Amino acid sequence: MKKPVTISLYFLAFLIFGSLLGLLVGMNFSSSLSMVAGKGVFFSKGLVIYTLFDGIPVVLLLVGIVLSVYKVRHGADPVGSAIVYSSLCAVTWIVLMPLSFEARKFAYEEKSREDDQELELSGGYFRESDGKLYYFLQDAQDQKADVLVLNDVNSKMEFGKEMILDVSSASSFAADAKPFKDPLIKDTMADRPEVVTNVFVAIRNQAASAWNCGIWSWLFFCGFGFAICACYGLVHSSSWRLVNILLIFSYSTFVMWFNNFYYSSSFSGARKFLGELMLGENYCRGMFFVDNCVELPLFIFNLIIGAVALIVGILLSKRER
């Protein structure tokens, strides 16, 4: 019974430290969005709370993978550990994940009530936008900046021209800097690992959207949770622990990649074909799924791939014995 209890403690510890780590990373990114070169960074209580709950769904998404890797290194009491693991995964996806979305929604409303402190772009810096290089003569005021145009790829006659530049949130200058406020900050953040973070953010947003669509939508989305948690079946696939860990990461990466790829524009044609194949032309046989925002082909894929992982893992573990 010692190992199942340890798994529960490890689960709790991962949630706490993972949430704190997510808060630190999230605050670093959130602060960079409103940061202006040459000026300080301002935090608000609402922003901190929202960032915390914004990262918790990602932490919950990784719980099954982390616990499976832990189990690779601690193989005692396989039956008891499997029962506790299954219970923790069920609690994660049926209780904790929905609660985190509700808390995130409440935190966002609280953050929105606070007055955002608008930092004006600072003077004395060169900034490039829309093929033009500007020198900001002084700090912007009322979202207007006094600048010199030093280079314009479309007009060589603009060199050295002084003008008033609109830098408000509705301007083309702000649109070119998005999601950041200052183009200089955007340039310094260009090397961040967008591919990895975008996958996690996309899956979190898909999960939040499923929860907002209603209980049926969420229950079908939990098929993805089943597929991710099924990586536990691979913990004893080989007598080599490193091989088991690589199998767990490879399988989990594939599941997350495909669930993200399924919603991409590249897969739109296949998504429509599969939907009509199962639900009829114009989804005439499946209005229940359409009304509840359920992607039935993806749900079936997640059930199949999860079942395959469990069955293959069990067969391989018996062969190793």
Q: What is the DSSP letter of 260?
A: H
pLDDT at 117 over 60: no
Which band of pLDDT confidence, cut at 50, 70 and 90, is reported for residue 36?
Answer: confident
pLDDT at 33 over 60: yes
Report the pLDDT value the prediction gives residue 128, as an integer from 0 to 100. Answer: 82
Which phi and psi angles does 243 have, rounded to 5°?
-65, -40
Q: Classify strands 161-166 and 132-136 as parallel, antiparallel or unpaired.
A: unpaired
Coil, strand or helix at 217 = helix
State yes or no: pLDDT of 273 exceeds 60: yes
Q: What pLDDT band is residue 157 in, cutting at 50, 70 and 90? A: low
Looking at 15-24, 70-79, 85-94, 301-310, which range is the least confident one? 70-79
Q: Is the CB of residue 279 less than 8 Å from the CB of residue 298?
A: no
Rounded Cα–Cα distance for residues 227 and 82 (Å): 15
Q: Give the Cα separation of 114 and 299 in Å (integer).
A: 40
Q: Nearest 5 degrees, angle CA 96-CA 100-CA 106?
A: 145
The pLDDT tens digits for 259-269 are: 999 998 899 88
Q: Would you state the structure tokens that stand for residue 96, as one six-digit string? A: 């904790």
Q: What is the mean pLDDT of the chain?
A: 83
CA distance 250 to 244: 10
Q: Is the pLDDT of residue 72 over 50?
A: yes
Give, as one character, the DSSP assignment of residue 133. E
Work out the pLDDT band at 115, boundaries 50, 70, 90.
very low
pLDDT at residue 302, as a whole number: 96
What does R_g of the chain's alpha carbons equal in angstroms? Answer: 25
Residue 73 CB neighbours (<10 A): 10
**Confidence class of residue 172 from pLDDT cuts 50, 70 and 90?**
confident
Statement: the pTM of the whole predicted model exceeds 0.85: no
Please, what is the Cα angle at 114 between 112 and 120, to 5 degrees?
A: 100
| Token pair listed for 47 | 């922003």
Q: Which residues pair with 129 in a beta bridge?
A: 132
pLDDT score recorded for residue 3: 61
152 - beta bridge partners?
A: 132
Give the per-residue pLDDT at 177.
80
Mean pLDDT of 106-127: 72
| 7-30: average pLDDT | 87
Does position 218 have pLDDT exceeding 60, yes or no? yes
Q: Which residues contact 231 (CB under 8 A, 6 or more apart)?
A: 64, 65, 68, 248, 251, 252, 255, 309
- Residue 205 in tokens: 């947003």
What pLDDT, on a 0 to 100 scale, did the predictor assign at position 195?
64
Higher pLDDT, 72 or 198: 72
11, HSE (Cβ side, Cα atoms, 13 Å): 24
Q: Residue 155 and residue 285: Cα distance in Å, rounded?
A: 59
